[in-house]
Amino acid sequence: MENKKIKILKGGEFLVTESQATDIFIPEEFDEEQKMISDTCQGFLEKEVLPILDRIDNMEPGLMRSLVAKSGELGLLGISVPEEYGGFGQSFVTSMLASDIIGAGYSFAVAYSAHTGIGTLPILYYGTEEQKQKYLPKLSSGEYAGAYCLTEPNAGSDANSGKTKATLSEDGKYYILNGQKMWITNGGFAEVLTVFAKIDNDKILSAFIVERNFPGISFNPEEKKMGIKGSSTVQIFFNDCKVPVENLLGKRGEGFRIALGILHIGRIKLGANVLGAGRRAIMHSVNYANERKQFGTFISNFGAIKYKLAEQVIRQFAAEAAVYRTSKYVDDTINMHIANGMEKIKAYLEAISEYAMEAAVLKVFGSEVLDYIVDEALQIHGGMGFSAEMPTDKAYRDSRINRIFEGTNEINRLVATDMFLKYAKRADSEIFNIAKSIYKEIDGQKKTSTSISDFFGKKHFYIKNLKNAVILILGKAYETVGKQFNTEQEIMMNICDMAIQLYVAESVILRVEKLQGFKSAEETSVYKDICDVFVYEAASQIYKSGMDAVNSFAAGEEFAKLQKGLRYLTSVEPVNIKEARRRIAGKLIEDNNYKF
């Protein structure tokens, strides 16, 4: 049987292109090898991590380092590393799945993610062959642990403003590093550090591979943190630290590009990482709701609790749909580049760069979904949830860092909108022309969804309109604000919030539509409920964010016309969301676990 050619959307193209369910990947499609890796990750958490969470949070000396080593012995550190460097060379989707499952490991998940991501990937993607041969096998096995040293006291979101300096020694054999790094995850035990510094009077960073035992490097005690207490976080000082010249990573002045490339990977991986934590918090929520009695009945029987349980499920399901849809786009793009003759490492970097906008979207949406889930988990537990004896305490505190990690959510919203704008300005883009056409036709808009009887046909009609709503507001905002657009951060974030809701809503529709091939009509009904509720809510939020933007730049006749256009483009038919949520909660309550 001839395989259907899959259409691969380019980064940002979801805004103007109609996607088909057959073209995307959903979690229900994991193959046997991927399920085996997932089971290995889950087994490691259940055996090695979850039984000793208090010991981990108490920073028992050597404990976290030993867990990193143990995960390396199982091959969990080398999933993304090619076989020639001691890894398994798995697909991007598989590496995201591992990040997803390990995400339920609280502080260990942070150490694992830092090691396998920002601790290892700079060397894999930017290192020389000699550097790869020297460091990657030991990073893959867990003999070495990795860390990433970018942030400084006065260089956070503005990473390139760092003051750490590197000068060449008189004999030309070493770079001499002087400076300070802070908030360095795994810094308390990592043997290999990727350090960013400016050579001489360069304005752009360079990157260096620094070993823990190099002379001139010192480490502060562990930071005391609100959450992720078991993860190692330290300040690091470089005082005439001697780094061999062969440990320059990439070319001189390439450090900022390396940092951005790795951050794109970190953002998309964090979008997966929060999924595991979300599932675990939902499990604790429903377990408690099915055990706790008030007024003579289990609290899971109350509508107010069902609302919370259902909304946890809806947002978790939506985040999964968006994450794995995007992950497969990355894989398909990598394979396309390789088939066209591109070297594998370059193909990977090109693919990650292509989906930088989507990576920012997933990071923002996923971290905020997890914050919602853990907050409601605590609320479901009531007073008990506020006790440090309950798992909700740890989940609540640990979640909060995700909105700061890998660039704050504010920075990521601005990054995503800036990329959206650059996409619109491309020579082959028609976005601004489309925006003008939509604006011109607002008074003549008549077609509604009432004439569409098919469930998914109706949903795709909504999505087409919602895309037009985002394009309309971007086009009119940029037309009005012009060159000052990047200083109007509130408007930029409004537009990003519209795009986030759009991308995730479409991902949910496509996942549920594709699920019909895996489940019976009866089984699919509850997923259609998820789809109904999420799209209904997304349309409302897109209207709200759109009007917030319009209120900021439009007036008079233009304001009235844009308001009218947004009302039409975000209009969806009424949904009995109370009953839909009750059915979703009913499945969760019956299963007593997240099995969606």
Pairing, β 297-298 against β 233-244? unpaired
Provide the 8-state DSSP code for 488. Answer: -
At 301, list the tokens.
Answer: 């029987």
At 238, list the tokens.
Answer: 């470089």
CA distance 92 to 352: 10
Cα atoms found within 13 Å of the Cα of residue 575, Cβ hemisphere only:
23
CA distance 486 to 472: 18
Q: Which residues share a beta bridge with 110?
A: none
- The helix (H) or strand (E) run that includes residue 568 is helix 556-569
Torsion, Cα of 293, 296, 297, 303 (10° steps): -100
Q: Which residues share a beta bridge with 149?
A: 195
Cα atoms found within 13 Å of the Cα of residue 565, Cβ hemisphere only:
28
CB 419 within 8 A of CB 486: no
At 532, list the tokens.
Answer: 């109904």
At 338, list the tokens.
Answer: 């390789």
Q: Taking CA 396 as the corner, what is the angle to CA 395 and CA 399, rounded to the nearest 5 degrees? A: 80
432 by DSSP, 3-state: which?
Answer: helix
261, 260, 254, 268: which is closest to 159 by C-alpha?
260
How many angstroms separate the most distant Cα atoms in the chain? 81
Torsion, Cα of 468, 271, 210, 208 (10° steps): -10
Provide the 8-state DSSP code for 90. Answer: -
Provide the 8-state DSSP code for 2. Answer: P
CB 318 within 8 A of CB 504: yes
89 by DSSP, 3-state: which?
Answer: coil
**83 belongs to the catalytic site:** no
Cα atoms found within 13 Å of the Cα of residue 287, Cβ hemisphere only:
13
240 by DSSP, 3-state: which?
Answer: strand
Q: Taking CA 392 as the corner, what is the angle to CA 387 and CA 397, rounded to the nearest 5 degrees? A: 95
77 by DSSP, 3-state: which?
Answer: coil
Which residue is listed with tokens 């001697």?
242
227 by DSSP, 3-state: which?
Answer: coil
Catalytic residue from among 152, 358, 368, 406: 406
CA distance 498 to 476: 14
Catalytic machinery residues:
406
